[in-house]
Chains A and B, each alone.
Chain A
Amino acid sequence: MSRPRGTDGSLLTSLPWTLSALIVAMAPHIPFIPIWITVIFVGCVVWRYVIERRRGVLPSPWLRGALALGCFLGVLATYSSVSGVGPGSALLAVMAALKLLETRKRRDQFVLLFLSIFLVMSSLLREQFLWSLPYLVVSMLIIMSAWLRMSAGESQTARQSFMTGGRLLLYAAPLAIAMWIFFPRLSTPFWAVPIDTSRATTGLSDTMSPGDISELSMSDEVAFRVSFEGDVPAARDRYWRGLVLTRFNGRTWSGREPSISRSSREQVQPLGERVDYEVTLEPTRQQWVFALDMPYAWSLSRTFMGPQQQLARTTPIDQRIAYKASSYTDFRVETDLSSMYRNWYSELPSGSNPRTAELAREMRAAAGSDQAFVNAVLQKLHEEEYYYTLEPPPLGRNPVDRFLFDTRRGFCEHYASAFSVLMRSVNIPTRIVLGYHGGELNPMGGHLIVRQSDAHAWTEIWLDGIGWHRVDPTAAVAPERIEMSASDAALDGIGEAWGFAAPSRLLHQMTLTWDALNAKWNDWILGYGPETQNSFLKWLGMEDPTWRKMMLTLVGLVVGLIMLISVLLMSRYRPPAKDEAAILYQRFVKRLGQTPDTGETAQVFALRVRESGRVQAAMVDEITDAYLDARYGNGGDEAFARLKEAVGAMR
């Protein structure tokens, strides 16, 4: 009786390879896809292997159909869509797992390996890291080996399959590099990869509510990297301007959608030295573009300066981008502010934070001038017992009052907010700037790393005759926070607390090295876009690289490389030494007009030919002897010469 769904263990040798290929291809997806898909995947892999081991029976088509439908609906329910990178790769992964359950023949295994390659490729649609490429190479190697393992069967050992797979990848490498360099990069991609918007992103939020929850993450994730063309500005000048918040409702500060106004840049009056640098910004999914305070020129397309001198791009930053920018750390902005704007920048909700307002009015009266008042407030923050902490207590209603008079603990947002409320209470125009401060200089790469933990909030007040002037109240409380970067401060704290400063320093050193590598990788490999390609090709000597030229070069290179590899391979291939004695003997046989039977040896054939009596027996013997001696014996060249002569003499 036939069991159509039964397995006979014939895949037992190649199946583990196929499974490994699938697992390797699947691994990079695991952190991004729902856990239930991973569970199903692992389950299917184990299940299929056990079936093969036990010569078991594959699940029935009904069960498979039900599983497939269930998984499809599961993906749909999880993502409420089946298109896009996330749902797409989740669907691919789960379907590959289910395909295992109907894998019975080699053909099915081929399909699985194809799926593995798709899985590997789809993982590249997500974020790419420094290790992505090595991982990709290793996965491809395993997939190729599995492929060879399956098609070669018993004729190749696992080791040989591995070596052949490696060789094939090696042959493909020059082609891949040529394609990578010359394939025209377009500023707008051919196809739009739907971006995973559901994924939470770190970065600055558009609003600020000190006291609600601590939103300051000590995440070590890199926000952006900066390489300066000249000297790196001092730490206290490294304010990376992001967005500006202008409205306060008593609890939350918010900004206004940046409206593009060309005049806002003209408000900036540069003083002092210009600083030129290049920023490589990690994707933020937001539109803010960070630059050293105060930016004056930038190379990023579709990027404009908002009315509060914040830089914004018209489209969110979904990919890692690099841009050049120039800033002046010494500047004047908007020395002339109309009274309407002065009022607008001093607006406070009536009745909120009354104690703060009261305090401000008292202090302003005592100080005499706005400038003196500002200094008095900063001095108060500095001298009285205010603490800088990353874990402040919650503040509740009238957060500024509670913070200033009761808790006295907070981080930059609390101080910026409190300071602004104090200023606005006495009608000094104030706004809050969100961005980053400081950054760590990586001695390895020579660049500055700005991390999410460097996020900062500071204030700008408008003073008559001076314009907008930056005041960082956090500096008054925790000057070291401004002189050093946050991570440095945290690191010292940890080291001292645990009494092992050295290991953490070493760790830090390693982190820096890794970051330097990452930065280079980003600059050269991942950031290889239209501009980099253009300049690289120019550097290679291609004048005015156009789409056409690139394609022609690419086609030429690919054809050339394939030919080169083929020639190399062919030159290494040693054809079996031409059996000249056999060729001569064939000539003899042809001239006789008689052919030996299958399995008839030369001697037997000679006997038969002689018996036919149509040819000279001596000649046949001579040729047969010489042939056997030359081809099978140790007659060598001498026997071959005899054979040649005898066959030549035959007419």
Chain B
Amino acid sequence: MQRSTTLESLPTGRSAQREVIERARQALGTIILGKDEQISLAIACLLARGHLLIEDLPGLGKTMLAQALARVLGLSFRRIQFTSDLLPADIIGVSVFRQESGEFEFQPGPVFSQLILADEVNRATPKAQSALLEAMEEQQVSVDGSTRELPTPFFVVATQNPGDQIGTFPLPESQLDRFLMRVEIGYPNEESERELIAGEDRRSMLREIEAVTGPEMLIALQEVVREVPVKDALISYVQALVRHTRESADIDIGLSPRGAQALVAAARAYAYVENHSGVYPDDVQAVFASVAGHRLKPAGSTRFRSPAELCQHVLDSVAIP
């Protein structure tokens, strides 16, 4: 499945790395129409070594985005459909007794892939959920007493359908924290939708799409992203934002220090995607809703209908120092 990139074709150097990002954005943009922001966020999330939670109604291209990401970035991809009868072994793998050798052999589960789509993660039992979340946290799994490393890069895209209420197990706040970002895709705009309806079948397009890069390049990019400068002025801004979330009457539980770290990490990656020479306040604002949205607990009396609205309000009330 993985379309390996040979070493010779691996672009090197700063401009080449930028080139990869641009080409990936473009390629993704041809499949998922009119969602440039979500594409950039997804790439940034990956570059920041975070995991992505996509939350939206069915049919808005959640799965498509995950598959396209894997294709374009040349990562090995597995999809795990979370159902209420999913067992941890279905995710991690299982040891099978081989008659001929007389030994147990480990059959790796779908989690041993570079990009995993955990589809409808809230349909599975907490037990199965935590098997995945543990793998995400540790980047390794323990089976039958031995620890097995997961591949690198390791990127989980989980989807969650907020409309489903019956028979689901929504992820608790503490586990939502494992996802660097939560994005909503939303309906396409009119023009994009028209093209979607009229145009080629996205699935066949997906099969034809070429990988623009491979895992080695991604690892290199993840390293480069860490070096995007974060200046004092920006830290002051992040602190002001975080402080506001803790003091605001609209928010019960504000951002934790880990939340603030996540915000900076995501902003770094986003700044890189946006080709900024450092992390600008714009980058922080761009990732704020997706990083903070699922980490904040709005007050019961809040007048905001969605986390996104609440986050926008926070951004609008904190002056940039």
Contact = CB atoms under 8 A, between A and B. Distances in A.
Given A599-B320, A602-B320, A634-B229, 17 more contacts: A579-B233, A582-B233, A599-B317, A599-B319, A601-B280, A601-B281, A601-B285, A603-B280, A603-B282, A628-B276, A628-B278, A633-B276, A633-B277, A633-B280, A634-B277, A635-B278, A639-B277
B282 A604 contact: yes
Contacts of B260: none
B231 interface: yes
Top 10 A-B residue pairs of the complex, sorted by shortest distance between their CB atoms: A633-B277, A633-B278, A632-B278, A601-B282, A601-B281, A599-B316, A634-B229, A599-B315, A603-B282, A632-B280
Interface string B232-270: 111000000000000000000000000000000000000
Interface string A585-611: 000000000001111111110000000
B231 A632 contact: yes
B15 to A, nearest CB: 16
B318 interface: yes
Given A598-B317, A598-B319, A603-B280, A631 B285 contact: no
Given A633-B277, A633-B278, A633-B280, A598 B318 contact: yes
A632 B279 contact: yes
Interface residues of B, number: 19
B245 to A, nearest CB: 13
A401 interface: no
B317 A628 contact: no
A629 interface: yes
Contacts of A635: 277-278
Contacts of A599: 285, 315-320
Interface string A555-583: 00000000000000000000011010010
Interface in B282-321: 282, 285, 315-320
Nearest to A639: B277
Nearest to B286: A601
B278 A634 contact: yes
B139 to A, nearest CB: 30
Contacts of B229: 632-634
A598 B277 CA distance: 24
B280 A628 contact: yes
Interface in A176-190: none
A404 B218 CA distance: 114
A615 to B, nearest CB: 20
Nearest to B233: A631
B317 A629 contact: no
* Interface of A (DSSP majority class): loop
Contacts of B320: 596, 599-602
Contacts of A597: 316
Contact of B233 (A598, A600, A632): A632
Nearest to A625: B277
A73 B232 CA distance: 64
18 contacts: A577-B232, A596-B320, A598-B317, A598-B319, A599-B316, A599-B317, A601-B281, A601-B285, A601-B320, A602-B282, A602-B320, A632-B234, A632-B276, A632-B280, A633-B277, A634-B278, A635-B277, A639-B277
A59 B146 CA distance: 62
A604 to B, nearest CB: 7
B285 to A, nearest CB: 6
Contacts of A603: 280, 282
Contacts of B318: 598-599
B281 A602 contact: yes
A620 to B, nearest CB: 15
A357 B37 CA distance: 126
A106 B316 CA distance: 36
A597 B318 CA distance: 10
A601 B274 CA distance: 15
A631 B229 CA distance: 11
A632 B317 contact: no
A604 B284 CA distance: 13
Contacts of A596: 320
A189 B273 CA distance: 80
A633 B315 CA distance: 21
Interface in A596-650: 596-604, 628-629, 631-635, 639
A596 B281 CA distance: 13
A457 B279 CA distance: 93
Contacts of B233: 579, 582, 631-632
A443 to B, nearest CB: 64
Contacts of B319: 598-599
Nearest to B315: A599
A601 B316 CA distance: 10
Interface in A248-280: none
A639 B231 CA distance: 14
A600 B317 CA distance: 9
Contacts of B234: 632
A635 B280 CA distance: 12
Contacts of A629: 277-278
Contacts of A577: 232
Nearest to B229: A634
Contacts of A576: 232
A582 B231 CA distance: 13
Interface string B105-138: 0000000000000000000000000000000000
A632 B238 CA distance: 13
Contacts of B317: 598-599
Contacts of A632: 229, 231, 233-234, 276-281
Contacts of A579: 233
Nearest to B241: A599
A69 B276 CA distance: 75
Give the interface centre of B232, B285, B320 by most chain A CB atoms within 10 Å: B320
A574 to B, nearest CB: 12
A603 B284 CA distance: 13
A597 B319 CA distance: 8
A568 to B, nearest CB: 26
A579 B232 CA distance: 10
Nearest to A627: B280
Nearest to A605: B320
